[in-house]
């Protein structure tokens, strides 16, 4: 994706739309240095970082970058830690330092230190790599060339340090904005982030959280997945088929709606991921609509709310009452499930976040883009009815957004030859067109 841009981007074709995000302000992250040797932070809700008052408070000697890189190869772990810490701090404050560390050959050694037996060395090495990869294409590719993706994922699976998890997921987020790395990240980081971050964060066991995941770790993980979801067709299909991913993202979005937190940054990431995964859904996933009729009567009678859309629900409910669908079709059906539509519409009504609003509109447009599909026609009618009810009752805070939605849905009516229904909504459209 283009470097140096910070706006939400949308790619369009004749029928569907796909949201992408750039590799900088929206989809990348940096880390200030944290006090050593503690793994705790006083600012857990702000990327887990603290501004370093001065180097002496952490007993870091005054160094040049050349000396810091040399420290990384020392047999003494304290020197390794000093060198990585100095690089982490310097690359946060000095953009030119990133290229200097690259020229000095510091990245391969930092990647090696991700497998250090000292947890503190692993943490600061991950933080240094995270900052080195921020807005620097050469460093991103160098991290991958040295096997950094595999080593970072292995550390993520092994560590129970929240601070290390933040640095690793932040590093993966930064790497994911490089198109050259998306194929490897989709194959390796996607299942790891889903299994070790996304599913645990959105799930509750009977006795409480199965494992603690910090909100900023979830935010970084979904930022990475957001970038990956704007990749090639095969990568989108891999994400759609990833067990637990769509279900968990939908669960988190619904919980944000229920908790009246529609402008959450992780919610924005989730909405954009699902928007992208609904792009060309019918073409790339044959049968995703035909195997599932998105209507209320398609839900099993006398069964609890489907687990994937219950806030913080147990994943054991996922398959309750669902019949005649193979696993792949089941995962795809969540993208067009009625409760997903309800969530998109609720966010259109309540969110103030432009990127979230655009993603919800885009997802709805994608779900109504298939020509001549009976299920799609029913879906169009249902969305139009709800949107018109909101406009008529003046309950929405975003009438202009809803009106845009009505316009593209009206076009979808004509594309799908829904005879006579357009005329029913014409008075509403005419009344509010100005």
Task: List pLDDT tens digits, range 127-168.
Answer: 999 999 999 999 999 999 999 999 999 999 999 999 999 999
Q: What is the residue extent of each domain of the chain? A: 9-432
81-101 pLDDT, tens per residue?
999 999 999 999 999 999 999
> In sequence order, what are the residues at sequence separation of 6 or more whose Cβ sits closer than 8 angstroms to the Cβ of residue 375?
289, 290, 292, 293, 294, 295, 336
Give yes or no for residue 404 having a pLDDT over 50.
Answer: yes
| CA neighbor of 380 nearest in space, from 369, 389, 391, 394 | 369
Q: What percentage of the chain carries pLDDT values higher than 90?
A: 47
Q: What is the model's pLDDT at position 120?
A: 97
Specify the DSSP class assigned to residue 208. B
| Residue 123 pLDDT > 90 | yes
* pLDDT recorded at residue 412: 61
Helix H or strand E encompassing 19: strand 17-20
Confidence check: pLDDT of 347 > 70: yes
Which residue reads 């970084």 in tokens?
A: 220
Give the global pTM: 0.76
**Average pLDDT of span 283-306:** 47
At which residue do the structure tokens 């949308």 appear?
Answer: 10
Lowest-confidence region among 128-142, 249-263, 309-323, 387-401 = 309-323
pLDDT of residue 287: 54
Model pLDDT for residues 170-213, shown as the tens digit of each residue: 999 999 999 999 999 999 999 999 999 999 999 864 444 446 89
Closest CA to 47 of 187, 138, 152, 169: 169
Tokens 């939908």 label which residue? 250
208-267 tens-digit pLDDT: 444 689 999 999 999 999 999 998 888 999 999 999 999 999 999 999 999 999 999 999
Mean pLDDT in residue range 344-360: 88
**Between residues 280 and 276, which one has the greater pLDDT?**
276
Residue at token pair 């959105």:
202
312: region left, alpha or beta (phi > 0 left; psi from -120 to 50 alpha): left
* pLDDT exceeds cutoff 50 at 53: no
pLDDT of residue 161: 96
Q: In this model, does residue 32 exceed pLDDT 70?
A: no
The end-to-end CA distance of the chain, in Å, is 36
**Of the candidate ranges 80-84, 89-93, 295-299, 328-332, the one whose mean pLDDT is the lowest:** 295-299
Q: Is 301 exposed, middle or buried (0-12, 13-18, 19+ CB in 10 A)?
A: exposed
Per-residue pLDDT band for 30 (boundaries 50, 70, 90) equals: low
Half-sphere exposure of 357 (CA within 13 A, CB side): 17
Report DSSP letters for 357-378, one per residue: HHHHHHHHHHHT--TT-HHHHH
25 against 155, higher pLDDT: 155
Contact between 26 and 160 (Cβ < 8 Å): no
**Cα(129)–Cα(111) distance, integer angstroms:** 8
Second-level CATH architecture of 9-432: Alpha Horseshoe (1.25)
What average pLDDT score do residues 24-32 get? 50
Round the average pLDDT of the chain to a whole number and report it: 74
Q: Confidence band (pLDDT; 50, 70, 90) for 379?
A: low
């Amino acid at each position: 994706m283009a470097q140096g841009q910070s706006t939400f981007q949308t790619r369009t074709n004749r029928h569907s739309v796909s949201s992408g995000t750039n590799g900088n302000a929206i989809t990348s992250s940096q880390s200030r240095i944290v006090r050593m040797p503690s793994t705790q932070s006083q600012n857990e809700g702000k990327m887990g970082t603290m501004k370093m008052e001065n180097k002496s408070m952490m007993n870091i000697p005054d160094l040049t970058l050349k000396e810091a890189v040399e420290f990384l190869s020392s047999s003494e772990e304290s020197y390794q830690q000093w060198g990585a810490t100095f690089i982490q701090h310097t690359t946060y404050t000095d953009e030119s330092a990133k290229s200097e560390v690259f020229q000095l050959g510091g990245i391969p050694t930092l990647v090696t230190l991700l497998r250090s037996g000292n947890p503190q060395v692993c943490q600061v090495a991950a933080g240094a790599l995270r900052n080195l990869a921020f807005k620097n294409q050469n460093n991103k590719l160098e991290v991958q060339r040295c096997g950094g993706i595999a080593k970072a994922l292995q550390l993520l699976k092994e560590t129970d340090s929240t601070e290390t998890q933040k640095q690793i997921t932040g590093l993966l987020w930064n790497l994911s904005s490089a198109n050259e790395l998306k194929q490897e990240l989709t194959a390796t980081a996607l299942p790891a982030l889903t299994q070790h971050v996304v599913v645990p964060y959105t799930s509750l066991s009977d006795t409480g959280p199965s494992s603690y995941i910090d909100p900023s770790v979830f935010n970084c993980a979904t930022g990475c997945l957001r970038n990956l979801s704007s990749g090639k067709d095969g990568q989108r299909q891999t994400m759609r088929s990833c067990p637990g991913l769509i279900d968990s993202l939908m669960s988190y979005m619904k919980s944000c709606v229920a908790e009246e937190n529609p402008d959450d940054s992780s919610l924005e990431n989730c909405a954009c991921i699902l928007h992208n995964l609904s792009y060309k859904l019918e073409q790339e996933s044959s049968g995703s609509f035909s195997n599932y009729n998105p209507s209320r009567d398609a839900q099993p009678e006398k069964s609890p709310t489907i687990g994937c859309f219950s806030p913080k629900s147990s994943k054991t409910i996922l398959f309750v009452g669902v019949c005649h669908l193979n696993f792949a079709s089941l995962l795809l059906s969540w993208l067009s499930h009625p409760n997903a539509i309800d969530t998109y519409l609720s966010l259109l009504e309540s969110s103030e976040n432009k990127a979230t609003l655009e993603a919800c509109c885009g997802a709805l447009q994608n779900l109504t883009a298939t020509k001549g599909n009976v299920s799609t026609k029913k879906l169009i009618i249902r969305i139009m009815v709800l949107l018109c009810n909101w406009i008529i009752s003046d309950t929405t805070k975003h009438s202009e957004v809803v009106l845009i939605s009505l316009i593209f849905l009206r076009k979808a009516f004509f594309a799908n030859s829904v005879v006579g229904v357009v005329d029913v909504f014409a008075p509403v459209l005419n009344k509010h067109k100005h």
